[in-house]
A and B are shown apart, each in its own frame.
Chain A
Amino acid sequence: MTKRLLAIALIAAMAVCAAGTAAMAEGGQTPLRILWWGSQTRHDLTMAMLDKFMEKYPDIKVEPEFTDWGGYWSKLATQVAGGLTPDVIQMDHAYLVQYAGNGVLASLNGYIESGAIGVSDVDPSILASGNVGDDLYAVPTGMNALVLMYRQDILDEAGLTLPFAPTWGEYVEISKQVFEKTGRTDTYVVGAGMDQLRFSLRNMGLNMYNEEGTALGWDDPQFLVTNWERVLKAQEEGYGLGVGETTAATAFDDLVADSWVGCHWTNELEAYQNGSGVELEMSEVPWRDDAVQPATFFKPSMFWSIADTSAVKDEAATFINFFVNDTDCYDIVGTDRAMPISAKIREYITPNLNPAAKKGADALDRLSSEGHITPVMKPDVAAHSEIDALLTQYNEQVRYGLVDDLTEYARQFIEESNALIAKSLAAK
């Protein structure tokens, strides 16, 4: 009899435990899981913003989940595979095609038509950046641009100024002088990564990938060779930080320890200023000396998407609408997820921006008023992240001085990238 009671008690205890975790979120409220990536600054702001959201919509109970960029995509994929896809997902341009194409994301067309997500104050071309085919799968959180962030205090020390739209020739000259006068090295000039390649292509009116997304949009090895030669020269003459001489432990430290300049998105200014503890100014990414058009583009910094499997899509749409249109949201988050897409909200927040956000907004304004913005490219191909990693490997070989024939090596990269794209298309 005791044994029987014991067994029943244990089973009951386990059942209670299991039920307890399930019931916790209930209590009349609809649970809404939201997943995002970001820095500590963003986590703090977002948590405060979500408290406000729940205050306004008391029948929704948000279950926030967040991580840094590094672990985000494996976390999300694991949750998707486990049938635990969050209801609202922060999405990136580089992964949008992959996730929408695999049916993870819900089409938002219905919510736009019904007005559940109000977009009357949003420029249609901005909204369309979340399209895959004819369906909208992602609502941009805001627009930003890739710019140089640099330390004016160091330039002052060297008695130099960086033009707002420098050419590579001008930029390299300044980098050299900074090194001569202050001993400070530059990590951007030895970068030669995906962004630098993309900008130099765009300067010549080309895109990383062709319209159809079936191959690279260029075939001239000279684009890579120019970048690599610049890197090798900077390394050799010392103004570029030597390979393996990094002392910074984080991207923020870079601006304190190894460099006076870095290339980041405008909305990241506050995070970089907080993280590095130094004041930063902004300029355009250097132009090719033979540029035929500006390369800078406004890009949706990130998106909100809704999971196709979500049982609370309406509540998810309510949240996205709150993020797009509600001034209460922006009283808290400001421009952390970049300049809001709604014109009304932009107008609302502009007078109240904190100094860092104001600097970011001014830079965006200046970019458009000088006419230095060209249209954003289509979302990257599914193989993009792999091609990005491939470029990193190629750069490493070059920086270690293991490549004799740069042109031949660039050709090899082009060939290998096209093969990766073909493979990923064949897999579908």
Chain B
Amino acid sequence: MRRAGNILDHDSVAGYVFIAPFLIGLFAFTVIPFFTSLYLAFTEYNILSPAKWIGLDNFRRMFFEDKLFWTAFQVTFKFALIQVPVKLAFSLLVALALARYSKAMPVYRAAFYIPSLMGGSVAVALLWKQLFAFNGVVNRLLGFAGLPNNTKWLADPNTALGTLIALGVWQFGSGMLIFLSAIKNIPSSYHEAAIVDGAGPVKRFLKITLPMLTPILFFNLVNQLIGSFQAFNSSYLITQGKPLNTTLYYGVHLYNRAFTYYEMGYGSAMAWFMLLIIAALTALVFRSSSMWVYYESDGK
């Protein structure tokens, strides 16, 4: 009893009890599944019966047999390589526009941020599906404007991925907010000095704002790169990979294999391969950062 008492009296015990709900969640939903999936990547596991060790078979199948694997891989690269720069540029542009001082600004800022609040939600994806449906609002508006209104946005292999990218870009809010706060942090004295020296707005943007923003640009780039490679919702909810697999994100293919066909082992292998790809790309971006990211304090 005394021993137990001593343990309970210890400072750290109360602390651990307090963080226990978080720790339990972390272990149950992150740490354990993480390592379980690493193990499962080398097994054949149909959920219904125990996993069977098959070594590297899943990876062999991924690289040499599964045609859709490479299709999905390409789609995801294309998606990320277009969406990330467009979204970055767009959020920076909006941030610049909103950085000016005006009384109505807080309202605009909130309004521009709203799409991101609803961002991951199923409702917005379904809304997008309706907007770009064959007889949807977009085509009708085009019709009113006298433009061709028979584009099958989501069903034409040439436009489907672009329509989904547009949805992603529209949800620019969180990146924009981060840019906005960074822009506000740039000391106005820099700009004043430049104005005195006769620098125009473009020059000031290129020589002051942009360099000062590079750490934030770097942060947003890494974040969005990772997010884009993990994209799932828009394809799963809107196109299910159609038409002709032109919107089959890696994540959707993985989900299909794992949850539709009960191939958890194969799904895990795919997930780990994607982790490696994302890690490699992130490392690449980090490496390159010394060439283009400017830290005022020089403290890298």
Contact = CB atoms under 8 A, between A and B. Distances in A.
Interface of A: 1, 3-4, 6-8, 10-11, 14, 73-74, 77-78, 80-81, 98-99, 102-104, 243-247, 249, 385-386, 389, 393, 396-397, 400, 402, 427
Given A98-B262, A245-B152, A400-B157, 16 more contacts: A3-B9, A3-B13, A3-B14, A4-B5, A4-B9, A7-B17, A10-B17, A10-B18, A14-B20, A74-B260, A77-B259, A78-B47, A98-B48, A102-B48, A389-B260, A396-B243
B48 A243 contact: no
19 contacts: A4-B5, A4-B9, A6-B14, A7-B13, A10-B17, A11-B17, A74-B260, A78-B47, A81-B264, A98-B48, A102-B49, A103-B48, A244-B152, A249-B129, A386-B261, A397-B244, A400-B243, A400-B244, A427-B46
B47 A80 contact: yes
Going nearest first, the 8 A-B pairs with the smallest beta carbon separation are: A244-B155, A102-B48, A244-B152, A74-B259, A81-B47, A4-B8, A77-B47, A247-B135
Contacts of A246: 133-134, 155
A10 B130 CA distance: 49
A14 B16 CA distance: 13
B259 A244 contact: no
B154 A7 contact: no
B259 A3 contact: no
A394 to B, nearest CB: 11
Contact of A7 (B14, B49, B134): B14
Interface of B: 5, 8-9, 11, 13-14, 17-18, 20, 44, 46-49, 129-130, 133-135, 152, 154-157, 242-245, 259-262, 264
Contacts of A102: 46, 48-49
B244 A247 contact: no
A396 B262 CA distance: 24
Residue among A102, A244, A389 facing the most chain B CB atoms (10 A cut-off): A244
B262 A77 contact: yes
Contacts of B14: 3, 6-7, 10
B48 A244 contact: no
A81 B37 CA distance: 14
Nearest to B45: A81
A249 B130 CA distance: 8
Contacts of B46: 102, 427
A402 B156 CA distance: 13
Nearest to B9: A4
A252 to B, nearest CB: 16
Contacts of A386: 261
Nearest to A247: B135
B134 A244 contact: yes
Contacts of A99: 48
B74 to A, nearest CB: 17
Contact of A103 (B49, B133, B157): B49
A102 B49 CA distance: 6
A309 to B, nearest CB: 12
Contacts of B260: 73-74, 385, 389
A385 B260 CA distance: 9
B161 to A, nearest CB: 14
Nearest to B126: A249
Contacts of B13: 3, 7
B261 A385 contact: yes
Nearest to A102: B48
Residue among B47, B155, B245, B260 facing the most chain A CB atoms (10 A cut-off): B47
A247 B137 CA distance: 12
Nearest to A105: B48
Contacts of B47: 77-78, 80-81
A6 B15 CA distance: 10
Contact of B48 (A77, A389, A396, A402): A77
A74 B254 CA distance: 13
B167 to A, nearest CB: 17
Contacts of B155: 243-246
Given A73-B260, A400-B244, A7 B8 contact: yes
Contacts of B242: 396
A5 to B, nearest CB: 9
Contacts of B264: 81
A396 B244 contact: yes
A3 B15 CA distance: 10
B271 to A, nearest CB: 16
Contacts of A98: 48, 262
A80 B9 contact: no
Contacts of B261: 385-386
Contacts of A1: 9
Contacts of B262: 77, 98
A7 B19 CA distance: 12
Contacts of A247: 133-135
A115 B236 CA distance: 46
Nearest to B262: A77
A77 B17 CA distance: 34
Contacts of B17: 7, 10-11
A427 B44 contact: yes
Contact of A245 (B11, B20, B134): B134
Nearest to B155: A244
Nearest to A396: B244
Nearest to B153: A244
A246 B136 CA distance: 11
A7 B10 CA distance: 10
Given A3-B11, A77-B47, A397-B244, A244 B156 contact: yes
Nearest to A399: B243
Nearest to B258: A74
Residue among B48, B154, B156 facing the most chain A CB atoms (10 A cut-off): B48
Contacts of A74: 259-260
A249 B20 CA distance: 45
A400 B20 CA distance: 56
